[in-house]
Amino acid sequence: MNKEKEMVDLKTRTREFVLRVIRLYSAMPKSTVAQVIGKQLLRSGTSVGAQYREASRSRSNAEFISKLESSLQELDESMYWMELIVEADIFPAKRIDELINEANELIAVLTTCVKNTKKKGASR
């Protein structure tokens, strides 16, 4: 797969991830605890796509890596909030397992992108 197609696929995947986070937040109970945790997830989860979009428009490898690493941080934080949602019995695990799996997959893909970009930079 060429880099341009890979970027388009990741733009689509990160956008879909964001939309799923938004739908999850919309379905959250209206209790104070659920809303506080939900808003944290909403903030970090929606940032994933924005950070990736910024990375795709970066002007240098260093900027690209920085934005991808920011996206990775937001994905990791989103994972934390989703874990709390399950552990606090706000939603059952099976209801958000697919979203957690997608976050894990995105983390793996973006980590590989960062490593490969760093490797390319080191070989120049």
Two structure tokens written together for 93: 């695990």
Give the whole-angstrom CA distance, residue 24 versus residue 66.
28
Which of the four pLDDT bands, split at 50, 70 and 90, describes residue 120?
A: confident
- Does residue 39 surpass a pLDDT of 60? yes
Between 28 and 1, whose confidence is greater? 28
What pLDDT is recorded for position 124? 47
Please compute, for residue 72, the number of CA atoms within 13 A of its CA located in the half-sphere on the CB side: 15
- Does residue 113 surpass a pLDDT of 60? yes
Q: Which long-range contacts (CB under 8 A, 24 or more apart) does 55-59 make?
A: 56/7, 56/10, 56/11
* DSSP state letter for 89: T
Closest CA to 65 of 5, 113, 119, 108: 113
Give the whole-angstrom CA distance, residue 91 versus residue 106.
22
Q: Which domains does the chain have, with CATH numbers?
A: 3-122 (1.20.1440.60)
What pLDDT is recorded for position 67? 96
- Reported as a single tens digit per residue, the pLDDT across 51-105 is 999 999 999 999 999 999 999 999 999 999 999 999 999 999 999 999 999 999 9
Give the whole-angstrom CA distance, residue 19 versus residue 33.
22
- Does residue 4 surpass a pLDDT of 60? no
Could you give the 3-state DSSP secondary structure of residue 60? coil
Average pLDDT score, the chain = 92
What pLDDT is recorded for position 5? 57
